[in-house]
Amino acid sequence: MSPFFVKVGTVWDVQFTEEYMLINTEFSPQNSNAAKHVMGTRSLGLLGFMWDVAERLKALLVFAEHRYYGESLPFSEDSFRDSKHLNFLTSEQALADFAELIKHLKRTVPGADDQPVIAIGGSYGGVLAAWFRMKYPHLVVGALAASAPIWQFEDLTPCGVFMKIVTEDFKKSGEKCSESILRSWGAINRLSNTGSGLPWLTKVFHLCSSLKSENIQRLKDWISETWVNLAMVNYPYPANFLKPLPSWPVKEVCQYLTNPYMSDSLLLQNIYQALNIYYNYSGQSRCNNISETTAGSLGSRVWGYQTCTEIILPFCTNGVDDMFEPRAWDLDKYSDDCYKQWGVRPRPSWVTTQYGGKDIRSHSNIIFSNGDLDPWSGGGVTEDLSDTLVSVNIPEGAHHLDLRSSTDIDPPSLQLARSLEIRHMKQWISDYYGNYRRQP
């Protein structure tokens, strides 16, 4: 085996006039499908901004799939078998793939050789876009890192910030909403201690299988994750990112959660109504399976391996600054769980050692965009670090809202954010041509 295993699977590319390339570092099978879908319908959907900006800047658009996701499997179906086969799944290797892909495209696409390239990504894809510019500045003139929590590692951000932002979203979206949720955990705990409580909870939450007392924590986690996901996709118009949802879904949810002080059973019936916004907005769900993670394929097995090796994101709650049951960040337990599941232990400090943590000011040309409603903004870069490491904040934005297509009802802050982003990209391109032409 040579030192680097480089394999990039499916690459979709659409050629405009090839003035330059945009590389999107999206990663999940779900996002890949979204990209495919976008390809059919053009400027609608999750990655619509890339289509809009590519058309505007006359760019070649490239979607690079992350290894071990989608169809980019180094050992086909054996890729997930054990840690030996998963050993080539690291962010470094993914960045190396992107580097090889860009070199390949420059060699093979007519006229692409001298063109500037821009990296774009959202969420983990945004983190990769930023890291790619940091590590391969000779291959991309800049990066748009949308909702990229590059500081959600180690102690760079207090572990409670994420859930605090989730809680604030619910507070803002309805009176007594977060208070209702905070009280719901006690209600579940009390009911699960009664003889009739477990079948009652099974029925009220429409669970697919009978709730057992050892699964109470799982039920509460499943509900918590739902609130988190709702905060992430709290978009101003109906959308289908994690699930098909109405506009401002947290506000919809909070309509059911106006009174925290009713009886446990009434409170939990309201909680179910609220959850149902997320799980059954399309009307097709028959029962809820709490052993499935709520984010669907985003919480896939492969991502689980990454969070057990490199991508260690500390989270905690205290029930005071947030609406969740208190839970400390316990790296030892986390590590033991990883070892049980994968036979590997996390290296929580490696990402900081490798990518610089907060000390990244010697880099340049990265836009960090964040939505104030997005819990991931807590670990993001929300202030300018230099003239060329800039932050773009979207007060009404949830998780990488700016990467979606423009719509008629986009808030002004979103429109402004996108035009700032495009202005920076144009600057990078003109700087590139300026430097390029000065060369002998």
Q: Which is nearer to a copy of itself, 3 or 40 (CB)?
A: 3
Per CB under 8 A, 360 contacts a copy of itself: yes
Alpha-carbon span 205 to 191, nearest angstrom? 13
Residue of 312, 298, 318 lying closest to 229 (CA atoms)? 298
Single out the residue of 276, 354, 382, 406 in contact with a copy of itself (rule: CB under 8 A). 354
Residue of 68, 9, 20 lying closest to 301 (CA atoms)? 68
Q: Which stretch binds a copy of itself (CB under 8 A): 109-117, 173-181, 227-235, 354-362?
A: 354-362
Per rule CB under 8 A, count of chain residues that contact a copy of itself: 37
Alpha-carbon span 161 to 317, nearest angstrom? 9
Alpha-carbon span 10 to 73, nearest angstrom? 10
Per CB under 8 A, 362 contacts a copy of itself: yes
Angle formed by the axes of helices 124-135 and 91-108, to 10°? Answer: 70
Q: Which stretch binds a copy of itself (CB under 8 A): 81-89, 145-153, 233-241, 244-252?
A: 81-89
Single out the residue of 13, 100, 221, 321 in contact with a copy of itself (rule: CB under 8 A). 100
Q: Which is nearer to a copy of itself, 236 or 304 (CB)?
A: 304
Q: Catalogue the long-range contacts made by 175-181 (C-beta closer than 8 Å, 24 or more residues apart).
A: 175/258, 176/257, 176/258, 176/259, 176/260, 177/253, 177/254, 177/257, 177/258, 178/323, 179/260, 179/323, 180/257, 180/258, 180/259, 180/260, 180/267, 180/270, 180/271, 181/227, 181/257, 181/271, 181/323, 181/324
Q: Which is nearer to a copy of itself, 263 or 362 (CB)?
A: 362
- Measured between alpha carbons, how far is residue 217 from residues 103, 340, 399 in Å? 49, 19, 27
Single out the residue of 17, 33, 430, 435 in contact with a copy of itself (rule: CB under 8 A). 435
Per CB under 8 A, 364 contacts a copy of itself: yes
Per CB under 8 A, 135 contacts a copy of itself: yes
Single out the residue of 359, 395, 419, 423 in contact with a copy of itself (rule: CB under 8 A). 359
Single out the residue of 85, 171, 251, 345 in contact with a copy of itself (rule: CB under 8 A). 345
Per CB under 8 A, 429 contacts a copy of itself: no
- What residues are paired with 240 via a beta bridge? 244
Least Cβ distance, residue 305 to a copy of itself (angstroms): 10
Per CB under 8 A, 113 contacts a copy of itself: no
Per CB under 8 A, 108 contacts a copy of itself: no
What order of strands is seen across the sheet that includes strand 20-24? 11-14, 59-64, 20-24, 117-122, 142-146, 366-371, 389-394
Single out the residue of 15, 79, 83, 393 in contact with a copy of itself (rule: CB under 8 A). 83
CA angle 6, 10, 16 (to 5 degrees): 110
Per CB under 8 A, 154 contacts a copy of itself: no
Least Cβ distance, residue 381 to a copy of itself (angstroms): 14
Contacts of 57 (CB under 8 A, 6+ apart): 19, 20, 22, 422, 425, 426, 429
Residues 283-342 that bind a copy of itself (CB under 8 A): 309-310
Single out the residue of 350, 368, 376, 428 in contact with a copy of itself (rule: CB under 8 A). 350
Q: Which stretch binds a copy of itself (CB under 8 A): 16-24, 97-105, 314-322, 416-424?
A: 97-105
Contacts of 344 (CB under 8 A, 6+ apart): 83, 305, 308, 309, 338
In sequence order, what DSSP letters do the residues of 229-257 get, joined into one string?
HHHHT--SS-EESSSEE-SSHHHHHHTT-
**Looking at the annotation, which residues are catalytic?**
123, 374, 399
Q: Which is nearer to a copy of itself, 156 or 262 (CB)?
A: 156
Alpha-carbon span 200 to 206, nearest angstrom? 10
Q: Which is nearer to a copy of itself, 4 or 261 (CB)?
A: 4
Q: For the chain, count helices (H), then strands (E).
A: 15, 9
Residues 163-222 that bind a copy of itself (CB under 8 A): none
Q: Which is nearer to a copy of itself, 96 or 425 (CB)?
A: 96
Least Cβ distance, residue 380 to a copy of itself (angstroms): 18
Per CB under 8 A, 67 contacts a copy of itself: no
Q: Which is nearer to a copy of itself, 158 or 260 (CB)?
A: 158
- What residues are paired with 143 via a beta bridge? 119, 366
Chain positions contacting a copy of itself, by CB under 8 A? 1-4, 83-84, 87, 89-90, 92, 96, 99-100, 103, 135-139, 309-310, 344-345, 347, 349-350, 353-354, 356-357, 359-364, 435
